[in-house]
Amino acid sequence: MSGRAMPCSPAEIGSLFLFEELTPEQLGSLCAAGRVEKFEPGWVYTEGEPATCFYVMIEGTVVISRRVGGDDVEVNRTSQRGVYAGSMQAYLGDRVPQVYGSSLRVTEPTRFFVLPGETFAAFMRQWFPMAVHLLEGLFFGSRNTQRAVGQRERLLALGSLSAGLTHELNNPAAAAVRATATLRERVAKMRHKLAVIAQGSYSPEVLSGLIEIQERTAERVAKAPALSPLEASDREDELSDWLDDHGITEGWRIAPTFVQAGLDVDWLEQVAAAVDEEILSGAVGWLNYTVETELLMDEIADSTNRVSHLVEAAKQYSQLDRAPYQVADVHELLDSTLLMLSGKIGQRIKVVKEYDRTLPKVPAYPAELNQVWTNLVDNAVFAINSTGGEGTLTVRTAREHDRMLVEFRDTGPGVPPDIRTRIFDPFFTTKPVGEGTGLGLDISWRIVVNKHHGSLQVESAPGDTRFQVLLPLTAADPDTTEEPQ
């Protein structure tokens, strides 16, 4: 949008705080190289356009906004003379993309001093060479620092993944090792019991009957029903009494194993009917080993399946074998993150999932969303632990118009109002020294807002803090997204 050209007065330009230290010759050069324009209410320039001009307001009212998703969010509104905007980084030349990083509009007739970007850069280098060098160093140094610390933040997230995965893998792995050792012992006893039976004067029909009972027993183990503690206790008493009545020693020790395997008195009666009374005790003992080995093999299978599930969850969390940009199931990402962080969450914090499973998949960078989830869960856990370590973390998804809401709610002490506007600032943290970089929320904000065109906000009261991520349900062009540094 172009304004109406007006005369440029060096005296008026010199009254603006940006130029008040310039000499009369420099002010004359400014007026000769630039121009004064008057803009009617409307847009002066929009975010993403080539940054061609540097604007300094002489009088009027300006509004600066940033694009978040499909909305323009106002970030500043002022009538202060001398405020400036536009191609403020023109002195960096083509070393950075020269585009407007925000949109500028005026709400009333407003006059600007307008200087072409290249001319502004030339004046900066000519009049303030040392200042330009310092600004260049600050700009690139800050960007490199952000990248380096961002990488550090990613490594911290990887540390959380490693710690959580190690914690979660330890239990099923240890269970599999214990079960394998016990299984080896039980198989040895089964071989011994089989040898004792084989040395007896049993007909092939009797041995065949025992083997058939063994096969049926193994089938019963695979189909064992789930019993309540009371039902299991009653059945143990029944089986123990039956074993005692039939002269089988240590019935109290065998009965719980049989109950776990889904066996009952009716099954024992079938066994008793199939074998002679003198070998009943040996047959029951042999079948007990059969039951134990089946249960142990089930335990090993469950443990190894658990390990496989954890490895798959780790792959889902890290997205190591996935495309960087894809249509992703947010609920799978949330589940993998919660699983990876379960060790850090601990047993005293209750996790509640309130998922709207009817929500569609969303276009996203899944690995980076997992980094956002990690940061938000970590903050919630820290908040809850600061009040004694007991509380509830609620993860909720819902549709809000054309966006998906992902909300993390904790029962911690809340975010004090005086720091609520600062928590997304780089390096701001309330954690003790050594426990946080102060970049988790800053990086999360840039991943959500800059890279996914979404929004990240917080609502907080004591006992009810909610970090809310809103993600578009429709795809943006991934090539136009800004990489978080």
Collapse the DSSP code of 213 into the 3-class scheme (helix H, G, I; strand E, B; otherwise coil) and give the result.
Answer: helix
**Percent of the chain topping pLDDT 90:** 19
Q: Are 402 and 185 spatial neighbours (Cβ–Cβ below 8 Å)? A: no
How many CB atoms neighbour CB 97 within 10 A?
Answer: 12
Residue finishing a domain among 309, 344, 363: 309
Residue 237 resides in a domain: yes
Residue 359 resides in a domain: yes
**What digits encode the pLDDT tens for the residues 143-176?**
665 565 555 555 565 565 566 566 566 667 777 7
Q: E strands within 165-293? A: none
3-state secondary structure 299-362: HHHHHHHHHHHHHHHHHHHHCCCCCCCEEECHHHHHHHHHHHCHHHHCCCEEEEEECCCCCCCE
Predicted confidence band of residue 483 (pLDDT cuts 50, 70, 90): very low
Q: How far is CA 175 from the centre of its chain?
A: 29
Can you give the pLDDT at residue 151? 59
Q: Which residues have a Cβ under 8 Å from the Cβ of 476 and sit 6 or more positions away? A: 363, 452, 453
Can you give the pLDDT at residue 446? 82
**What digits encode the pLDDT tens for the residues 445-458?**
888 988 888 999 88
**Secondary-structure breakdown of the chain: helix, strand, coil percentages, each rounded to the nearest 5:** 50, 20, 30
Residue 153 resides in a domain: no
Residue 236 resides in a domain: yes
More confident residue, 254 or 90: 254
Residue 154 resides in a domain: no
Can you give the pLDDT at residue 197? 65
Is there a single domain that holds both residue 8 and residue 86?
A: yes
- Count of structural domains, the chain: 3
Is there a single domain that holds both residue 272 and residue 332?
A: no
**What digits encode the pLDDT tens for the residues 25-50?**
989 998 998 999 999 999 999 888 88
CATH number of the structural domain spanning residue 18: 2.60.120.10
Is there a single domain that holds both residue 296 and residue 393?
A: no
Is there a single domain that holds both residue 324 and residue 447?
A: yes
- Report which residue type is found at 86: G
Which pTM value belongs to this model? 0.47
Is there a single domain that holds both residue 247 and residue 382?
A: no
Distance CA 215, CA 291 (A): 10
- The residue among 445, 449, 435, 442 whose CA lies nearest residue 403 is 449
How many CB atoms neighbour CB 157 within 10 A?
Answer: 25
Is there a single domain that holds both residue 41 and residue 170?
A: no
**Percent of the chain topping pLDDT 70:** 76
Least trusted range by pLDDT, from 193-202, 330-339, 415-424: 193-202
Is there a single domain that holds both residue 475 and residue 345?
A: yes
How many CB atoms neighbour CB 83 within 10 A?
Answer: 17
Can you give the pLDDT at residue 131? 64
Domain that holds residue 429: 320-480
Is there a single domain that holds both residue 361 and residue 445?
A: yes
